[in-house]
């Protein structure tokens, strides 16, 4: 996948140029219909609304490459998650905070 003035590659990952915001963050918001103004409001370190629109244009110009990149990121995440599973007490605490696990109930990681 090519980079451009709005999207850059660092350490094998894609980012909004000049930021620490991953391309996957903007893709996720964009694909659920979040408007550019809301994305910029949520991530002001992007720097400008123009840059948000530039990233959106990049996503639209390279849909297959973006999908392939996201699948590869998900594969890497699952690999790391399998290699370094969270301790059961941490999973339980997280689940309680999210309201999806009752105290004492531990759900296996998927």
Mean pLDDT of 14-40: 96
CA distance 25 to 21: 7
Strand partners, 16: 7
* Pair 87, 109: CB distance under 8 Å: no
CA distance 41 to 64: 28
pLDDT in tens, 64-91: 999 999 999 999 989 998 998 888 888 7
Does residue 108 lie in a domain region?
no
Does residue 36 lie in a domain region?
yes
Does residue 104 lie in a domain region?
no
Total domains present in the chain: 1
Range of the structural domain that residue 71 is part of: 7-98
DSSP of 36-79, one letter per residue? HHHHHHH-GGG--HHHHHHHHHHHHH-HHHHHHHHHHHHHHHHH
For the full predicted model, state whether its pTM sits above 0.95. no
């Amino acid at each position: 996948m090519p980079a451009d003035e709005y999207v850059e590659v660092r350490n094998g990952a894609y980012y909004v140029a000049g930021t620490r915001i991953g391309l996957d963050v903007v893709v996720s918001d964009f694909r659920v219909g979040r408007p550019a103004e809301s994305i910029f409001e949520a991530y002001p370190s992007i720097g400008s609304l123009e840059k948000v629109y530039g990233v959106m244009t990049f996503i639209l110009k390279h849909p297959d490459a973006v999908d392939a990149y996201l699948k590869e990121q998900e594969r890497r995440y699952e690999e790391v998650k399998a290699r370094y599973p969270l301790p059961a007490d941490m999973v339980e605490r997280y689940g309680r905070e999210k309201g999806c696990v009752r105290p004492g109930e531990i759900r296996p990681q998927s």
